Chain A
Amino acid sequence: MTTILLVEDDKNQRLLYEQELSLEGYEVVTASNGREALEKVQVQLPDIVIMDINMPKMDGIEAIGKILSKNKEIPVIINTAYSNYKDNYMSWAADAYIVKSSDLSELKDTIKKVLANRAEDS
C-alpha cells in the first residue's frame, strides 16, 4: 500500500485529509509540523509527502529542504492556503504546488499523477 505522509498543523484538516485519502486506498501518516515530519520520515520512509507551508516550530519549506537533502528521491506535493510561495525557489523542489480547496479532487488527482510520473522514471 502506498504511504502518504501528510504534514498539516490544523487538527480538523488533518482529520479530513486522513479520512478522504484513506478512502482512496492510501495509508496515511500525519505530522503536525515540520519537525514532527522529519521524525516520521526517519521512522518510516513514505512514498509521497504532502506538505503544508505555514506551520509552527518548522515551516514546510525548511522541512522539505531537510527531507530532500537526506532522501532526494521522495516526491513532495506542497498543499497550502497561500498562493504566493510559487515563486519561492525552494518550492520548486516540490513536484507540485496546490492551493488548498474544499474540493479535494485536485489534490487527489495530483497525487495520482505524481506517483505515476515517479513510477515511470524509475
Chain B
Amino acid sequence: MNNYHSTSNFNTTISRLRDLLNEYRGRPLDENLSEKIENAFLGLEAGIAGQGAEITKPSENTEQQKERRKFERRNKDKIVDAIGIGLCLLNKDLKVTWANQTLCDWLNLKDSPVGNTCHDIYHCDEIGTAVCPAVNVFNGNVSNIIETWIESKNRKKMCVHHVAMPILDADRYINEALILTIDATESEKTVHRLLLLQRLGQAMQGILHLDKLLHLILTCVTSGYAFGFNRALLFLINKELNVLNGKLAVGPSSHEEAHQIWKDISNKYGSLKDILDKLDYSHNIDTPLNTMTKLMVYSLSDTKEVVILCAKEKKPIIIKEAHNDPRVTEEFRKALRVDEFVCVPLIAKNKPIGVIVADNAYTGEPISEDYVNILTMFANQAALAIENAGTYKRLEDKINQLTETQQRLIRSEKMAAIGSMLSYIAHEIRNPLVTIGGFAKTLSRFTFTDSKITTNIDIIIEEVKRLEKILNNITDFAKPSTLEKVDMQICEVMENTCILMENYFQEKNIKLHKEFETDVPSISIDPAQIKQVFLNILINAVEAMPDGGDLNISIKSGIESIEIDITDSGKSIPQDLLQNIFDPFFTTKPNGTGVGLSVSLKIIENHGGNIAVESKHGKGTRMSLILPIK
C-alpha cells in the first residue's frame, strides 16, 4: 500500500515537473534542454517503477532480498547515470543524502558528498536566498532554474542548469528535494554566440581602418570563445586586377604554436572586451601562415578553385574530404594541409567582395552546419564593415585631393590678384619715376660751381634707379606665363648658369660640386625662364652660406621626369617656415622682395613640374626641381 502511494506520489511529482517544463518550452533554445529533462523523467519513471517492484518477491529470504536490492539499486544507478544528468537528494536541512556519479564528476567532487550541505558542493551564490531552488522547494514554491558555470572533472567548461523538485512522502509532506543538474553548455554557447555576433557587429562598424578591421574579423573567427576555429584566412577581391587575393591569416602555423597558445589562454573566457584588448596588430609579424596567405592569388574566372566558386555562388561551402572533393585543387589542398574546412563568402550590397576560409587544423574538431550558419551571418556583417572601411578610405583620399587642389587654387588666385594689382601700381609709380630720374639726369649734364649740387643730383638718380629695380622685380612676378619652349639639355642650361656665376661663387667662398648624369634626355623648356629659376635658387643657396660652404648640384633622370637637386650646407630653414617659402612676398632677408621663389615655382609649374624642399637643422637645405620629360 505504502509503495503504491509512493509510486503515485512520484508520478504526480513527475507530471508536475512536466507541466513546469512545458511552461519553459516556449523558449526556442531550450529544445535540447527539455529533451534532456524528458529523458530524465523517463529514467526516473523506469527507476521508480523498478523501485515499486522492488519489494515483493516472496520466494526470497532476507539475505537474498538484500543482495537483489543491492543489485537492482546498482542497475538503477547505472540507468540514472546513463541519462547524463546530475542528481542529488537534499533533506530539509539542505544536506545531501544521495548524489549520482555524474554529478560527482561534473562538480569535481573527490569524496562522497553525502552529509555536506548543498552549498558545499554547488558553490552557488544563491545559497539561503529567496532565489535558491532548494529553499523554494521546501517552501512549496514551484522550482526554479538557475544557471551557473562550472569546471568539470576532466577540465571541461560546462554551463549547467539546476532544477529542484519536491519529493513527497506518504503523508504528502515534502521531506526531500531532488536537484537535477542539466548540461546546457551547447545551448548556452549558441546564445552566447548570437550575443557575441551582435556585439561584434557593432564593434566592427566602428572600425574604419581596413587593416585593423581585417584583424578583428579573423580574431573573432579564431577566438576560442567566439567561433573557435583554429585558423582563418581572409581573401579580398581586387576588381582592377580581376583576382581574389589573400590579405590576412590568423592562427597558429604549427601544432607546437597551437599548443603554446592554448596553454596561455586556456583559462580565459575571452569576452568581447578581451578580444578587442588583445588586438595587438601582431599581423605585422609575418607568420608563415600569414605570408603564405598573402601570396595566394586566384583569377576570378578560375572556378576550379573552391574559393572562387564560393565567391561567385555567394554561398558557404563546407569541404569534408579535401583530397576527394573535385572542388578543391591539388595546390589549394597542399597549401591548407587539412581535409576539412569551410569557405564563407563576404557579401556587401549583394556583391561578393571576398572569402573567409576557416578550419580546425589542430584540434581536428568537425565543422558542424550550425557553426557555419552563424559564421555566415558574421561574415555578412564583416563584409559590410569592410565595405564601409573601403568607402571611408576612398572618401579620405578624395578629400585630400580636393584640399590640395583647393590650396593650389587659392594660391593661384592670390597670385593673380596680386599680379594685376601690382601691374597697376607698378605702372602708376613707374611713370613719375621716369620723369624724376629723367630730369635729374638732364640736370646732371650741367656743371655747378657747388659740387654738392652734383652730388645731390647723383643721389636722386641713384635712388630712382633703385626704385626702378624694385619695380622690375615685382613686375617680373606679375608677368603672364607665356613660354617660348625649345628642346634643350637641362645640363647645358645649368652649366651656362654656373659659368655665369663663377665669379660670384669664388667671391663668396663657395665650393661647387656638380653631378650630372650622362644620358639625360632633352626636354622642351623656355631656357630664359629656367635659367632665371636656377639663378634664383643658386643665389638663395649662396646667401644661406654667408661664410662660404659647399654647393652640390645633381641632375638625374628617371622614367618620367628629370630631377635637379641643389643642396647647400648652410643655414637651414626652420620647419614651421618651410611651407611659406613659396608664398609671394615672403622673405626672411632684410633686403629681400620675397618674389624669387614664388616666381620660380610658377615657372616650374608652368613647365608641368614641381619644386620640393628639404631642410634639416645642421645639414643645410636641398631644393629638388622636377621637370617632366614628355
Name the distance in Å between B424's Cβ and chain A's nearest Cβ: 9
Q: Are B423 and A102 in contact (CB under 8 A)?
A: no
Q: Taking A20-B442, A54-B427 as contacts, is the C-beta distance between A102 and B437 under 8 angstroms? A: yes
Q: Taking A83-B479, A84-B478 as contacts, is the C-beta distance between A104 and B435 under 8 angstroms? A: no
| Chain B residues touching A, majority SS | helix
A57 to B437, CA, bound (A): 28
Q: Are B482 and A100 in contact (CB under 8 A)?
A: no
Q: Are A102 and B431 in contact (CB under 8 A)?
A: no
A115 to B601, CA, bound (A): 40
Residues of A contacting B476 in the complex (Cβ-Cβ under 8 angstroms): 83
Residues of B contacting A54 in the complex (Cβ-Cβ under 8 angstroms): 427
User: Interface size on B (CB < 8 Å)?
Assistant: 28
A102 to B439, CA, bound (A): 8
- Nearest neighbor of B476 in chain A, beta-carbon distance: A83
- Nearest neighbor of A52 in chain B, beta-carbon distance: B431
A83 to B482, CA, bound (A): 13
Name the distance in Å between A34's Cβ and chain B's nearest Cβ: 17
Name the distance in Å between B607's Cβ and chain A's nearest Cβ: 17
A2 at interface, CB cutoff 8 A: no
A54 to B436, CA, bound (A): 19
Q: Which residue of B426, B433, B479, B480 contacts A102 across the interface (Cβ within 8 Å)? A: B433
Q: Are B435 and A83 in contact (CB under 8 A)?
A: no
Chain A contacts with B in 36-84, Cβ cutoff 8 A? 54, 81-84
- Nearest neighbor of A105 in chain B, beta-carbon distance: B441
A122 to B186, CA, bound (A): 112
Q: Are B434 and A101 in contact (CB under 8 A)?
A: yes
Residues of B contacting A19 in the complex (Cβ-Cβ under 8 angstroms): 442
Q: Taking A16-B439, A81-B426, A82-B423 as contacts, is the C-beta distance between A102 and B434 under 8 angstroms? A: yes
Residue interface mask B420-434, A partner, CB < 8 A = 1: 000100111011111
Name the distance in Å between B416's Cβ and chain A's nearest Cβ: 12
Name the distance in Å between B431's Cβ and chain A's nearest Cβ: 5
A103 at interface, CB cutoff 8 A: yes
Residues of B contacting A101 in the complex (Cβ-Cβ under 8 angstroms): 434, 437, 468
Q: Taking A13-B434, A54-B427, A81-B431 as contacts, is the C-beta distance between A103 and B465 under 8 angstroms? A: yes
Q: Are A87 and B431 in contact (CB under 8 A)?
A: no
Residues of B contacting A82 in the complex (Cβ-Cβ under 8 angstroms): 423, 426-427
Q: Are B479 and A100 in contact (CB under 8 A)?
A: no
B464 at interface, CB cutoff 8 A: yes
Q: Are B435 and A10 in contact (CB under 8 A)?
A: yes
Q: Are B479 and A13 in contact (CB under 8 A)?
A: no
A121 to B464, CA, bound (A): 38
- Nearest neighbor of B428 in chain A, beta-carbon distance: A81
Q: Taking A10-B431, A16-B434 as contacts, is the C-beta distance between A102 and B441 under 8 angstroms? A: yes
Residue interface mask B1-39, A partner, CB < 8 A = 1: 000000000000000000000000000000000000000
Chain B contacts with A in 420-473, Cβ cutoff 8 A? 423, 426-428, 430-442, 461, 464-465, 468, 472
- Nearest neighbor of A11 in chain B, beta-carbon distance: B435
B475 at interface, CB cutoff 8 A: yes
Name the distance in Å between B308's Cβ and chain A's nearest Cβ: 61
Chain A contacts with B in 91-116, Cβ cutoff 8 A? 99-104
Residues of A contacting B482 in the complex (Cβ-Cβ under 8 angstroms): 87
Q: Are A102 and B465 in contact (CB under 8 A)?
A: yes
A54 to B430, CA, bound (A): 12
Q: Taking A100-B431, A102-B433, A102-B464 as contacts, is the C-beta distance between A16 and B423 under 8 angstroms? A: no
Q: Are A84 and B479 in contact (CB under 8 A)?
A: yes
Q: Taking A12-B435, A16-B435, A83-B479 as contacts, is the C-beta distance between A102 and B440 under 8 angstroms? A: yes
Name the distance in Å between A20's Cβ and chain B's nearest Cβ: 7
- Nearest neighbor of B429 in chain A, beta-carbon distance: A81
Residues of B contacting A103 in the complex (Cβ-Cβ under 8 angstroms): 437, 441, 465
Residues of B contacting A10 in the complex (Cβ-Cβ under 8 angstroms): 431, 435
Name the distance in Å between B497's Cβ and chain A's nearest Cβ: 23
Can you list 21 residue pairs at the A/B interface with Cβ under 8 Å? A10-B435, A12-B432, A13-B431, A16-B435, A16-B438, A81-B430, A81-B434, A83-B476, A83-B479, A84-B479, A84-B480, A99-B430, A100-B434, A101-B434, A101-B437, A102-B434, A102-B435, A102-B440, A103-B465, A104-B438, A104-B441
Q: A12-B439, A54-B427, A84-B480 are in contact. List 5 more A-B contacts (CB 8 A).
A: A12-B435, A16-B439, A84-B423, A102-B437, A103-B437
Binding site for A on B (CB under 8 A): 423, 426-428, 430-442, 461, 464-465, 468, 472, 475-476, 478-480, 482
Closest 10 CB pairs of A and B: A102-B437, A81-B430, A16-B438, A81-B427, A12-B435, A102-B464, A83-B475, A100-B434, A13-B435, A102-B438
